[in-house]
Every structure is written in C-alpha cells, then in structure tokens.
C-alpha cells in the first residue's frame, strides 16, 4: 500500500511564525507536490519537485518555500505565516513514468491566528 | 501557464441518471488526462485516466473521452448512485523537460439524489 504521510492533521499558528509542513512517501516516487485547497478554488499548486534538491514554482508560490533534501521527504515552509494562508494543505507524490497515479496525503488543516 | 477549466461547477442528478463533467485545458503539450474523486473529508483518489493516443476509455460505469483537437476531455458516469456524490477534479499533466506539472481544475460537486 502506497503511503503519503503528512506530519500534522491540524495545526494552529500565530501570524508571523515560521511554519514547517512535512510530507513523507514510502514508494520511491520522484515527483512530489504541495497544494492548497480552498472552497470554490479547487487544488492550487504551490510548488513541486521532480528530484532531490530540485524544485519548481507552481501557480501560487508567493509566501512559501520548499525543501527536498531526501527523496522521500518534501517540506513546505511558510516563512512568515499570515491569516490568508489559513487553508487545507495537501501533499502528493507520483512516479515520473507517464500515466501513473498521484497519491495524496491526508491533508493538514492550518489555521493562522 | 496551464489554464484548466471544469464545467459545471455543481451538478445535481437523480439516482440512475447519467452525469457528464467537462474539462478544458489550454496547453497542447498535455499528454495525460486523469480524473480524481474526493469524497467529503477524504483525500483525492484517481478513478480513471486516459493518454493522449486514446480517444475513449471505459471502466464499468465510468468513462473518459478525449478530444485533443478541441483540447477537452470529459468524465461520464452512468447509472449514478448516491455513493458517486463527491467532488471530481480533472488534472491534465504536462511533461516539461525533467519535470511534470499536475494542475487541477476547480472541481465539480456532484450530488446524486436517492
């Protein structure tokens, strides 16, 4: 069974704090993704990575950064959390081979107060 | 960047009816076209996909059709059941050098009324 695990299910942080969201997958997937999900806006791509230490911006990278030091782990960093970053964050991973499924983590509900 | 649009945003059908959701994309380099289903409180899961060299694929009550010329693909669900109620997302994928970008549509909320 493929497992994509996010470090926290619920998180409450204060404005201005530095926040780390961790994602770990156990299937040796090359590609990993971070999305945020908001009502009516679907899943919006923040950053993705196709290999260790490689990263590319998605559609809404502002206010976020990422780190991929090991193949199995992809971290999303909110440098200085703001209330408009309150959202559900979903991590996903997939093999690079065309036509393979993306597997999602359970999501992290982040509230910034 | 990739522009992905889904229609309709909400769809309500009676049990047993058919449902069709359409996804339009802008990037002609897209070459893989999956549909994901997200039930309330759960993570998205792949339900069906199609590659660019195929026009149609069917799996029991669900099917996907692709029109590459017009740059759209559609999800078809026949004989709908209450458990089909969920949000459905299309996610055309584009390979770009060593990277792949998986961009999702905004989703279609399907409600199947018993």
Whether the Cβ atoms of residue B51 and residue B34 lie closer than 8 Å to each other: no
**Mean predicted lDDT score pLDDT of chain B:** 93
Whether residue A43 and residue B51 make contact (CB cut-off 8 A), yes or no, is no
CA dist B7 to B21, B108, B110, Å? 6, 7, 11
In whole angstroms, what is the distance from residue A78 CA to residue B68 CA? 38
Give the pairing type, strands A31-38 and A87-94.
Answer: antiparallel
Residue bearing tokens 């893989």: B32
pLDDT digits (tens, 9 = 90+) for A69-108: 999 999 999 999 999 999 999 999 998 876 788 999 999 9
Whether the Cβ atoms of residue B88 and residue B75 lie closer than 8 Å to each other: yes
Query: How is residue B93 written in tokens?
Result: 């994928």
3-state SS, residue A83: helix
- From chain A, the residues in CB contact with B95 under 8 A are 98
In whole angstroms, what is the distance from residue A51 CA to residue B71 CA? 29
Query: How is residue B42 written in tokens?
Result: 């759960």
Whether residue B43 and residue A90 make contact (CB cut-off 8 A), yes or no, is yes
E strands, chain B, are: 4-7, 10-14, 19-25, 30-38, 45-51, 56-59, 62-67, 72-77, 86-90, 93-96, 99-102, 108-113
The per-residue pLDDT for A100 is: 82
The per-residue pLDDT for B96 is: 64
Handedness of CA B9, B48, A59, A78 (dihedral sign): positive
3-state SS, residue A85: helix
The per-residue pLDDT for A94 is: 92
- From chain A, the residues in CB contact with B108 under 8 A are none
Residue bearing tokens 């897209």: B30
- From chain B, the residues in CB contact with A90 under 8 A are 43-44
3-state SS, residue A12: strand
| pLDDT tier for residue B94 given thresholds of 50, 70 and 90 | confident
In whole angstroms, what is the distance from residue A31 CA to residue B65 CA? 26
pLDDT greater than 60 at residue B1: no
- From chain A, the residues in CB contact with B106 under 8 A are 40-42
Nearest by CB to residue B102, choosing from A33, A99, A106, is: A33
pLDDT digits (tens, 9 = 90+) for B46-85: 999 998 888 999 999 999 999 999 999 999 999 999 999 9
The per-residue pLDDT for B2 is: 64
Question: What is the least distance, in Å, from the CA of A58 to any CA of chain B?
Answer: 8
Whether the Cβ atoms of residue A59 and residue A67 lie closer than 8 Å to each other: no
Whether residue B102 and residue A45 make contact (CB cut-off 8 A), yes or no, is yes
User: What values do phi and psi take at A41, rounded to 5?
Assistant: -115, -5
**DSSP state, residue B13:** E
- The closest of B68, B69, B84 to B15, measured between CA atoms, is B84
Whether residue B91 and residue A102 make contact (CB cut-off 8 A), yes or no, is yes
């Amino acid at each position: 069974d493929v497992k994509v695990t996010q470090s926290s299910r619920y998180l409450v942080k204060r404005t201005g704090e530095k926040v780390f969201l961790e994602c770990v997958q156990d299937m040796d997937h090359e590609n990993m993704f971070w999305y945020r999900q908001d009502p009516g806006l679907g899943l919006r791509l923040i950053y993705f990575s196709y290999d260790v230490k490689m990263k590319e911006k998605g559609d809404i990278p502002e206010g976020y950064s990422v780190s991929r030091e090991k193949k199995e782990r992809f971290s999303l960093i909110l440098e200085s959390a703001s209330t408009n970053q309150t959202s559900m964050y979903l991590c996903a991973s997939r093999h690079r081979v065309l036509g393979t499924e993306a597997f999602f983590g359970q999501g992290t509900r982040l509230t910034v107060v | 960047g990739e522009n992905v649009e889904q229609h309709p945003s909400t769809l309500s059908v009676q049990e047993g009816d058919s449902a069709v959701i359409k996804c339009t994309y802008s990037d002609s380099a897209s070459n893989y076209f999956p549909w994901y289903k997200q039930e309330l409180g759960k993570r998205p899961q792949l339900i069906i996909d199609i590659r660019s060299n195929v026009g149609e694929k069917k799996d029991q009550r669900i099917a996907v059709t692709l029109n590459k010329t017009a740059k759209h693909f559609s999800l078809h669900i026949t004989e709908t059941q209450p458990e089909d109620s969920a949000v459905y997302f299309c996610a055309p994928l584009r390979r770009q050098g060593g990277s792949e970008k998986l961009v999702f549509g905004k989703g279609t909320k399907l409600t199947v009324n018993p």
